[in-house]
C-alpha cells in the first residue's frame, strides 16, 4: 500500500510557506525525510497524520484519500509525535492499556496485545514503572509501542532520535528496522546518521521544497568523484569560500576540513573524498549539486 503525495502546499497565517508543491512516492519500508530544522518536516508529518490541513494537494494511501477520509487514516496510522507530552504517574503497562482502549482494541484482546508490544520494544521488565521515570530511549520505545497499537500500515515518527545517547539510539534503530519490513515507516529527522543506518528511500527537504527524492545510494552515485576535501587554516576560510563551492566544513582537532563540489580535480592540495550522505544533504540544502 504505497503512499502517494502530490503537490502538497501549506502556508501558515504568518506567511511562512512550510510546504511548497511537495510530491513524493513512499513505498513500504523505512522512508527518511531529511531536512534541517524549519524545513517543513513536522508540517508534512502532521498533515499526513490528519492533525492539520494542507491548503492544496492530495495524498493517498492505497485507496484511502488521506486528506479527506481522516477516520480511515486514523484506523491504520501509528504516530509518534516530536513531543509525546506529559505522562501521568501510572505504570507503563496501565498507560499502554489505556491507550489501547482509546485505539478501540477489543477488551478480550487487549491484555495480549499490550503484553506482546511491551516485549517487542523490550520494556517488559520495566512495565511496572511509570513512563515519567523512563530514560529518553525507553520513552521513545514506549512511544513506538503505542504507535504500533492496532497494527498500523502507516507509521510516522517525528525526530525520534533527538536527545538519545548513542546506545539508546542503536537500540531504537534496531527496533525501527524490524518494524519497517512490512509497513510504511516515515522517519523525519535532521540527523543524517538516522537515514544512513535505516532508510532504503529518502527525501531531502528544505524551505518546504523537495530537493531530492530517491534511494540514498543513487544520491551518493551522483556525487561520486566530485567531492574533494582539504584541511585548511581557519584564517583561509573566507578565501576558500570565495573560490570554491564549499559543501560543508567540520573541525577536526580544531582545524577546518572543507568539502567542496567540483567536476574536475581542483588541485591545490585537495584530495578526492568518498561522498557520504552528509555531502548529499549539505550539497542539496546549499544548492551546490
Ligand atoms: P521542521 O519540522 O522541519 O523543523 P516545521 O514543519 O515545524 O519544520 O516548520 C516549517 C516552518 O513553518 C518553520 O519556518 C516554522 O517556523 C513554521 N511553522 C511551523 N508551525 C507553524 C505554525 N503553527 N504557525 C506558523 N508558522 C509555523
Tell me what pLDDT residue 84 has: 67
| Residue 131 near residue 139 (C-beta atoms within 8 A) | yes
Tell me what pLDDT residue 164 has: 86
For 133-156, b where at least 16 C-beta lie within 10 A, e where not — what string? ebeebbbbbbbbbbbbbbebbbbb
- Please report the atom of ligand 1 found closest to the CA of residue 159: 2
Q: How far is the CA of 48 from the centre of ligand 1 (A)?
A: 15
pLDDT in tens, 169-184: 888 888 888 888 889 9
Distance of CA 61 to the CA centre of its chain: 19
| Least confident range of 37-51, 175-189, 224-238 | 175-189
Kindly state if the Cβ of 16 falls inside 6 Å of ligand 1. Answer: yes
| Residue 13 near residue 182 (C-beta atoms within 8 A) | no
| Residue 24 near residue 214 (C-beta atoms within 8 A) | no
Q: Residue 88: is its pLDDT beyond 70? A: yes
Share of the chain above pLDDT 70, in %: 99
Tell me what pLDDT residue 89 has: 84
Q: How far is the CA of 18 from the centre of ligand 1 (A)?
A: 6
Q: Residue 18: is its pLDDT beyond 90? A: yes
Q: Give the predicted TM-score (pTM) of the model.
A: 0.90
Q: Residue 125: is its pLDDT beyond 90? A: yes
Cell of 96: 499502554
Q: How far is the CA of 156 from the centre of ligand 1 (A)?
A: 17
- Please report the atom of ligand 1 found closest to the CA of residue 14: 25
Q: Residue 289: is its pLDDT beyond 80? A: no
Q: What are phi and psi of 276, to 5 degrees?
A: -115, 170
Distances (CA, A) of 71 to 64, 66, 103, 128, 182: 10, 9, 12, 33, 22
Distances (CA, A) of 33 to 17, 62, 178, 187: 18, 20, 19, 6
Average pLDDT over residues 99-110: 93
- Please report the atom of ligand 1 found closest to the CA of residue 12: 25
Tell me what pLDDT residue 265 has: 93
Spatial distance between the Cα atoms of 188 and 205, rounded to a whole number of angstroms: 10
Q: Say which residue, 10 or 288, is predicted with more confidence.
A: 10
Average pLDDT over residues 39-45: 96
Cell of 58: 492530495
Amino acid at each position: 500500500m504505497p503512499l502517494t503525495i502530490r503537490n502538497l502546499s501549506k502556508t501558515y497565517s504568518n506567511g511562512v510557506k512550510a510546504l511548497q508543491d511537495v510530491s513524493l512516492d513512499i513505498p513500504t519500508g523505512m522512508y527518511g525525510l531529511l531536512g534541517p530544522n524549519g524545513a517543513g518536516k513536522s508540517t508534512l508529518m502532521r498533515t499526513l497524520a490528519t492533525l492539520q490541513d494542507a491548503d492544496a494537494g492530495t495524498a493517498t494511501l492505497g485507496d484511502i484519500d488521506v486528506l479527506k477520509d481522516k477516520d480511515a487514516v486514523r484506523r491504520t496510522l501509528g504516530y509518534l509525535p516530536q513531543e509525546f507530552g506529559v505522562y501521568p504517574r501510572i505504570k507503563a503497562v496501565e498507560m499502554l492499556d489505556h491507550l489501547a482502549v482509546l485505539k478501540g482494541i477489543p477488551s478480550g484482546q487487549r491484555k495480549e496485545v499490550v503484553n506482546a508490544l511491551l516485549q517487542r520494544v523490550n520494556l517488559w521488565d520495566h512495565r511496572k514503572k511509570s513512563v515519567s521515570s523512563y530514560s529518553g530511549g525507553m520513552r521513545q520505545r514506549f512511544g513506538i509501542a503505542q504507535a504500533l497499537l492496532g497494527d498500523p500500515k502507516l507509521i510516522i515518527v517525528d525526530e525520534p532520535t533527538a536527545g538519545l545517547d548513542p546506545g539508546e539510539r542503536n537500540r531504537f534503530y534496531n527496533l525501527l528496522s524490524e518494524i519497517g519490513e512490512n509497513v510504511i515507516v516515515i522517519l523525519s529527522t535532521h540527523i543524517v546518521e538516522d537515514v544512513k543506518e535505516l532508510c532504503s528511500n529518502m527525501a531531502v527537504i528544505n524551505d518546504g521544497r523537495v530537493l531530492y527524492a530517491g534511494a540514498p545510494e543513487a544520491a551518493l552515485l551522483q556525487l561520486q568523484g566530485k567531492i574533494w576535501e582539504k584541511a585548511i587554516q581557519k584564517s583561509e576560510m573566507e578565501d576558500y569560500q570565495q573560490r570554491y563551492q564549499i559543501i560543508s566544513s567540520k573541525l577536526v582537532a580544531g582545524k577546518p576540513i572543507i568539502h567542496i563540489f567540483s567536476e574536475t580535480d581542483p588541485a591545490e592540495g585537495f584530495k578526492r573524498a568518498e561522498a557520504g550522505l552528509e555531502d548529499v544533504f549539505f550539497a542539496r540544502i546549499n544548492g551546490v549539486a
